[in-house]
C-alpha cells in the first residue's frame, strides 16, 4: 500500500467511523444534503492529507455530483463532474477511458440545464476518446456506441421537439455505425449482438413515429463527428421501416449460421421481425413470420409452454407505447382494450376513471393506447381478436401532454 493511498484509507476510515457514530445518520436515511456535506468533508480531508489531484478524489467528485443531481442542483453537479474528470485526465491522460462516467454525467446535467449543444460536446468527446483507443471500426467500440444510443433515445422525452429530433438524428448515426461493425464482424457472438440489433431497430421506429407525428424540420443536419456526416433530406417513415427490419433480419441470419443456436433462440429472433411488421401494419408479412416462429418451437412440452407464453395472449410490443415499455410509474388505471388479429387496438375504455382525470388526460391515454401495437393472440395456429385489461399509469398522461 503506497503512502498516499494509506493516508486516504486511514482518513476515509476515520470519516466513515464518525458517520457511523452519528446518531442522526444511523437512525435515518441520509438526505441529499447530508451526502453532499459528507462528500465535501471527505474531499477536504484527502486534499489536505495528499494533494488536490489525488486519484481517490475522482470517485468522490463523481459521487458528490450525483448527490447534487439528487438535490436538483445541476449547476453544482456539473462542476463536481468536471472536477472529477480533470483529476482523471491529470492522472491517466487526456484520452483516458476513465472519463466515461464523468462525460455521461456532464451530458445529463447539461441537458437538465437546457444546454443541448454542451451535452452534445461532452458525448462527442467521449466518442472521440474511444476512437483514439480502439479505432473507429473495432468491435471494441460496440459497448460505448450502445451506451450512446441508449443515452440519445432515453433523452428524447426530456427535450423540446426540435432538440428531440436532433437527438434522434444523432442516434441514427450511432446506430448505423453499430450496424456496420456488427455486419462486418461475423465472429461476434450472436447472443451479444442480438440486443444491439434490437436497439437499432427500436431507434428506427422512434424516428419513423416522430416523422409521422411531427414531420421533418428543414434544419436536420447533425453529426457526432464534427459535422462530417450530414443527414439526407430524403428520409421517410418507410426508409426507417426498411432499416429497422434489416437490423432484425441480420440477427436472424446470424443465428442461422450458428450451429449451437437453439430453435427457441431462432424463434425469438423471428418473433422480433414479426413484431416489427406488426408495428408498421404489414399484416400479411407479420402473420407469415409469426407462423414460422410458431412452427419452429419444439413440438414437446417445453415448446408448447413457450408457444403459450409467446402467443397465448396479446403481448404489447413495448417500443410502440409512449413510454417504450420503460416506466417506474404506478400503473393505477385499468383499461379494457380490444386487440384485433392485426395487432392494432380498438375501443379503449378506462374502468372506473377517477374524477380527477381531465378530458385532455383521457384523450392522451386513449391516443397512446390506439398507437400501441400488440403481438396478437394465436388460437390453433391463427391470429385472433382478444379482449384484455391493460394496466396504465395515469401519470404517463401528464408526460404525454408535456411534449414541447
231-258 pLDDT, tens per residue? 443 457 788 999 999 999 998 988 887 8
Q: Could you tell me which of 401, 393, 339 has the C-alpha nearest to residue 370?
A: 339
In CATH terms, is domain 1-134 a member of 3.30.300.180? no
Tracing cell 436538483 back to the chain, one arrives at: 72
Residue 393 neighbours by CB distance under 10 Å: 17
Q: What per-residue confidence (pLDDT) applies to 141?
A: 96
How confident is the prediction for the chain on average, in pLDDT? 85
Q: In 64-108, where do the E strands start and end?
A: none
Indicate whether 150 pLDDT > 90.
yes
CB 253 within 8 A of CB 152: no
CATH of domain 318-401: 3.30.2420
**CB proximity list for 390: less than 8 A, separation 6 or greater:** 316, 334, 335, 336, 337, 348, 369
189-213 pLDDT, tens per residue? 777 788 899 999 999 999 998 888 8
Q: What per-residue confidence (pLDDT) applies to 58?
A: 93
Q: What per-residue confidence (pLDDT) applies to 399?
A: 72
CB 149 within 8 A of CB 111: no
What are the sequence ranges of the domains in the chain? 1-134, 318-401
Q: Do domains 1-134 and 318-401 have the same CATH topology?
A: no
Indicate whether 22 pLDDT > 60.
no
CA distance between the termini of the chain:
54
Helices (H) and strands (E) in the chain, counts: 16, 7
**CB proximity list for 204: less than 8 A, separation 6 or greater:** 172, 175, 240, 241, 243, 244, 247
117-144 pLDDT, tens per residue? 899 999 999 999 999 999 999 999 999 9
Cα–Cα distance between 227 and 147 in angstroms, integer? 21
The residue with greater pLDDT, 56 or 375, is 375
Residue 38 neighbours by CB distance under 10 Å: 21
Q: Is 29 exposed, middle or buried (0-12, 13-18, 19+ CB in 10 A)?
A: exposed
Indicate whether 161 pLDDT > 60.
yes
338-353 pLDDT, tens per residue? 999 999 999 999 999 9
What confidence tier does 219 reach under pLDDT thresholds 50, 70, 90?
Answer: low
Q: Which residues of 325-350 are buried (b: 16+ CB within 10 A; e: fewer)?
A: eeeeeeeebebebebbbbbbbeebeb
Q: What per-residue confidence (pLDDT) applies to 389?
A: 96
Indicate whether 334 pLDDT > 80.
yes
With H, G, I as helix, E, B as strand and everything else as coil, classify residue 335.
Answer: strand
Q: Could you tell me which of 317, 321, 311 has the C-alpha nearest to residue 291?
A: 311
Q: What per-residue confidence (pLDDT) applies to 298?
A: 85
Q: What per-residue confidence (pLDDT) applies to 217?
A: 67
Give pTM, 2 decimals.
Answer: 0.80
Amino acid at each position: 500500500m503506497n503512502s498516499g493511498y494509506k493516508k486516504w484509507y486511514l482518513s476515509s476510515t476515520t470519516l466513515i467511523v464518525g458517520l457511523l457514530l452519528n446518531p442522526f445518520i444511523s437512525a435515518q436515511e441520509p438526505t441529499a444534503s447530508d451526502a453532499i456535506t459528507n462528500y465535501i468533508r471527505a474531499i477536504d480531508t484527502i486534499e489536505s492529507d495528499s494533494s488536490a489531484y489525488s486519484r481517490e478524489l475522482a470517485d468522490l467528485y463523481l459521487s458528490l455530483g450525483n448527490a447534487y443531481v439528487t438535490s436538483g442542483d445541476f449547476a453544482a453537479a456539473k462542476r463536481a463532474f468536471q472536477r472529477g474528470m480533470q483529476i482523471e485526465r491529470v492522472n491517466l491522460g487526456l484520452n483516458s477511458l476513465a472519463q466515461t462516467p464523468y462525460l455521461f454525467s456532464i451530458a445529463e446535467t447539461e441537458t437538465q440545464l437546457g444546454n443541448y449543444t454542451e451535452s452534445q460536446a461532452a458525448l462527442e468527446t467521449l466518442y472521440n476518446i474511444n476512437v483514439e483507443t480502439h479505432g473507429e471500426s473495432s468491435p471494441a467500440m460496440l459497448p460505448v456506441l450502445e451506451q450512446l444510443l441508449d443515452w440519445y433515445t432515453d433523452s428524447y422525452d426530456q427535450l423540446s421537439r426540435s432538440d428531440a429530433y436532433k437527438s434522434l438524428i444523432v442516434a441514427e448515426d450511432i446506430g448505423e455505425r453499430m450496424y456496420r461493425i456488427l455486419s462486418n464482424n461475423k465472429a461476434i457472438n450472436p447472443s451479444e449482438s442480438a440486443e444491439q440489433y434490437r436497439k437499432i431497430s427500436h431507434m428506427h421506429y422512434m424516428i419513423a413515429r416522430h416523422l409521422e407525428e411531427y414531420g421533418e424540420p428543414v434544419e436536420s443536419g447533425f453529426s457526432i463527428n464534427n459535422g462530417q456526416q450530414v443527414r439526407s433530406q430524403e428520409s421517410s417513415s418507410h426508409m426507417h421501416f426498411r432499416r429497422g427490419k434489416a437490423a432484425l433480419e441480420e440477427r436472424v441470419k446470424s443465428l442461422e449460421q450458428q450451429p449451437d443456436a437453439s430453435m427457441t433462440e431462432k424463434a425469438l429472433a423471428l418473433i422480433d421481425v414479426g413484431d416489427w411488421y406488426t408495428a408498421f401494419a404489414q399484416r400479411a408479412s407479420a402473420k407469415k413470420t409469426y407462423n414460422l416462429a410458431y412452427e419452429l418451437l419444439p413440438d414437446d412440452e417445453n415448446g408448447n409452454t413457450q408457444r403459450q407464453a409467446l402467443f397465448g395472449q396479446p403481448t404489447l410490443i413495448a417500443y410502440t407505447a409512449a413510454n417504450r415499455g420503460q416506466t417506474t410509474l404506478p400503473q393505477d388505471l385499468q383499461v379494457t382494450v380490444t386487440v384485433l388479429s392485426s395487432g392494432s387496438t380498438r375501443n379503449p375504455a378506462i374502468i372506473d376513471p377517477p374524477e380527477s382525470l381531465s378530458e385532455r388526460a383521457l384523450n392522451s391515454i386513449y391516443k397512446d393506447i390506439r398507437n400501441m401495437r400488440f403481438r396478437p393472440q394465436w388460437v390453433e395456429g391463427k391470429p385472433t381478436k382478444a379482449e384484455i385489461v391493460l394496466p396504465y399509469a395515469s401519470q404517463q398522461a401528464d408526460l404525454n401532454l408535456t411534449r414541447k
